[in-house]
Structure 1
Amino acid sequence: MRAPLLPTLLLTAGLLVGATVFGASRLQPGGTGPVTASPAPVQAEVEAHMPAVVEPPAQEATPPVPEPEVVTPPPPPPLPASARVSGVRHEYQRLNNCGPVTVGMALSRWGGRLDQYDIAPRLKPNRGDVNVSPEELAAFARSQGMNVHLAMNGDRALLKRFLAAGYPVIVETWFITHDSGGMGHYRLLTGYDDTKGAFSALDSYMGPLTMPYARFDELWRSFGRTFLVVSPPEQAGEVRELLGFRADPSAEKQEALRVALAEAERRQDAVGWLNLGQAKLALGDARGAARAFDEAFAAKADPSLDPTRPVRVAGGLPWRAMWYTFGPLEAYTRTGRYADVLRLTNAVLRDAPAHEEALYWRGRALGALGRPAGAKAAYREAVRLRPGYVRARAALASL
């Protein structure tokens, strides 16, 4: 340890210098030192009986403690120009079944044999459920004994690392159909090709397809670039290595905030502000999130996200956006803006009456406004629609 050594060396050096000067001035007659008066008799007596001053032997200098060597980890190996994950079974979906199908396809990479007819009844206990959240997909995969990394703010390099290592990746993207307009949609990425500048994906609605990098990112950013990696527990070490800094949840969320803030300031569009609000909320900043969501609702709508129904918007967002994202409802609830929560959930429930998440947040707002009967009714309906909805059950029990 270097800190305690320096004062000791200084003290020893000081004593050595002092002893040398003292001895030289007393033992060398006619020395060149300053002339002093003869000592008084008592002082001479004392000095006559003082032992001769002997300089201690020179001490060997203590070798300096070397600084610890800074080891820079080697850069990750270069990725191949293309890669494809094998052993994944494709399945076409029935109505609103992209979530059950996509998680089933991801599980098939690791030997899973379940299809949508096995999975959908567990993820969608009522046929009117228009949304299966990423958290629900992750919970189902974990119930099958798998590990899941679920996060926002993925990027192209991260996706390619996983794909090159043999891991398919579930991504949540915006999806536009000519007859039904814009909506959320899961896809399973299974490869990439830099020469073509595109990802390969298994799409439960369209079948196998390729997605150009830039076009894919535009659709992906509508959901904050959410991704899920499903893997066996024995692969946990390799998954952490592939994630890099993202294996630390705090660092991952901080980086998501940095990217979302830069993108929102640069693009000034509703999707950018929505992603910024989600990033702030993930770090516990409900007030900052609410301000960002306000900007999203105030932004100019992008008609390209729902070209068949451009007038159906929730502020600057396509009208179905609130089917899939609940950050504004949570932020407004946590900041006491219950009227905004009721306004937004009323709009969702008008188009999707069996939307259990909207019912849950409606119950939260009604309860905070002192309307327990309305809150109880909302929670009961949410639990009826999804009996395993833990948050709604807990809220109902607390009334």
Structure 2
Amino acid sequence: MRRLLLSMLGAASLLVASTISAQASIPAAYQLSGIQHIYQGWNNCGPATLTMGLSFFTDEELSQNPAAAWLKPNPEDKNVSPWQIIEYVNNQLNSGVRALLRQGGSVELLKTLIANDFPVLVEAGFDPPNDDQGWMGHYLLVSGYDDAQQLFTTQDSFEGPNYTYDYAYFDDYWRHFNRLYIPLYTPDREAELMAILGEDADEIANWNHALATARAEATANPNDPFNWFNLGTNFVALQDFASASVAFDQARSVGGGLPFRMLWYQFGPYEAYLNIGRYGDVIALATAALNDGGGQYVEETFYYAALARDGMGERDRAILNLDGTIAFNPNFTPAREAREAILNR
């Protein structure tokens, strides 16, 4: 185990910052204009934040309800995953707006995107001191920055309009979600966006860049579970499931372990353990989520349990779990595809 951990961390020195071609010319402060702030409905930070981003591209007043109706048909649903936002914007809407998902962002990259009039959604950890609910995930729309004050301006569906976070605080909590970011753009500006992203325009290069960042941070602070979790997330994306499993094991054991809500939002441990045959661990994690006060309202809990049951040869239980997943969210296409694959075997 120790040898594998050292091998996983040994490439930290290879970390190379992504190319940001427009960075040198950005102003010291910039604010996007024309964004409609929307306070979120129940469990609705994803649809509300996305709708705020879409409002940048229109003068019409928008409602969060259409996005919520597709992204989370059950209002109790605790999570909207980034891939669902991409699917909704790019394939369900007819708005002329596109969305792109990338990982391993940076403060400088966010500033560059904003200065070039690209609104950006991020997902981050959220644990406001004045609202004692414990750690959770939260989407933010980044709409401005100010270097003199070291502040990002966000449209926060929970805290309110033009809500500011200092760069260091923002980056630390953004790290909890592998610094994922979703720029919104119109097709005529796609080449401009890709030029700003540089090497990160390529998805595999982007995952490798995020992996290098996670390696460096796990090396610098091996007692932080989020660093190990990010390492696992990136290994899963690159299909190195054995290394991902080791990283997730570390994330669950160091520094007091992960917040109990972690698997409401990020599902890399399920993916890693499934792909190396650790079906019992998947069932154990899903069972814990079902009993933690909210995981029963996350369709992925049932979906990954179904895949584990299928791997264990329990076909009928797998189908039952997939039927429950589809009933909870009919738009969760991975469950439909998995069910069809099992029935056609």
TM-score by length of 1: 0.76
Alpha-carbon distance in 2 for matches of 1:74, 1:274:
30
Alpha-carbon distance in 2 for matches of 1:395, 1:250:
25
Alpha-carbon distance in 1 for matches of 2:324, 2:148:
52
For residue 354 of structure 1, report the CA deviation from its aligned partner.
2.7
- Aligned position for 1:135: 83
For residue 118 of structure 1, report the CA deviation from its aligned partner.
2.1
- Counterpart among 75, 78, 82 of residue 25 in structure 2: 78
Alpha-carbon distance in 2 for matches of 1:292, 1:74:
33
Task: Tell me if 1:94 matches 2:41.
Answer: yes
For residue 76 of structure 1, report the CA deviation from its aligned partner.
5.2
- Which structure has the bigger radius of gyration? 1
- Counterpart among 155, 160, 172 of residue 202 in structure 1: 155
Alpha-carbon distance in 1 for matches of 2:150, 2:207:
28
Task: Tell me if 1:109 matches 2:56.
Answer: yes
Residue pair 2:23, 2:112 contacting (<8 A) in 1 also: no
Residue pair 2:273, 2:281 contacting (<8 A) in 1 also: yes
- Counterpart among 172, 180, 195 of residue 226 in structure 1: 180
- Aligned position for 2:318: 375
- Aligned position for 1:390: 333
For residue 284 of structure 1, report the CA deviation from its aligned partner.
1.2
- In structure 1, stretches of 5+ residues that fail to align are 1-72, 302-315
Residue pair 2:23, 2:108 contacting (<8 A) in 1 also: no
Task: Please tell me the residue identity of whatever aligns with 1:366.
Answer: R
> Which secondary structure does the structure 2 equivalent of 1:353 belong to?
helix
- Aligned position for 2:308: 365
Alpha-carbon distance in 1 for matches of 2:208, 2:136:
28
- Aligned position for 1:34: none
Task: Please tell me the residue identity of whatever aligns with 1:170.
Answer: L
Task: Tell me if 1:148 matches 2:99.
Answer: yes
Alpha-carbon distance in 1 for matches of 2:217, 2:23:
27
Task: Please tell me the residue identity of whatever aligns with 1:337.
Answer: R
- Aligned position for 1:214: 168
Task: Tell me if 1:333 matches 2:287.
Answer: no
Aligned identity (percent) is 39
Would the alpha carbon gap of residues 381 and 81 (structure 1) be closer, same or farther in structure 2, given more than 3 Å must change? same
Higher RCO, 1 vs 2 (CA within 8 Å, ≥6 residues apart): 2
Residue pair 1:332, 1:341 contacting (<8 A) in 2 also: yes
Aligned residues: 313
Deviations 1:240-270 (A, max 9, x none): 1111111111221111111111111111110
For residue 331 of structure 1, report the CA deviation from its aligned partner.
0.3
Higher helix share: 2
For residue 75 of structure 1, report the CA deviation from its aligned partner.
7.5
Task: Tell me if 1:353 matches 2:296.
Answer: yes
Alpha-carbon distance in 1 for matches of 2:236, 2:191:
29
For residue 78 of structure 1, report the CA deviation from its aligned partner.
2.4
Task: Please tell me the residue identity of whatever aligns with 2:242.
Answer: R
Would the alpha carbon gap of residues 75 and 171 (structure 1) be closer, same or farther in structure 2, given more than 3 Å must change? closer
- Aligned position for 2:4: none
Would the alpha carbon gap of residues 295 and 231 (structure 1) be closer, same or farther in structure 2, given more than 3 Å must change? same
Task: Tell me if 1:286 matches 2:227.
Answer: no
Alpha-carbon distance in 1 for matches of 2:120, 2:33:
13
- In structure 2, stretches of 5+ residues that fail to align are 1-19
Alpha-carbon distance in 1 for matches of 2:22, 2:178:
28
- Aligned position for 1:235: 189
- Counterpart among 204, 224, 227 of residue 272 in structure 1: 227
State the 4+ residue runs in structure 1 displaced beyond 3 angstroms: 73-77
Q: Which is further off, 351-360 or 122-131?
A: 351-360
Alpha-carbon distance in 2 for matches of 1:336, 1:139:
29
TM-score by length of 2: 0.88
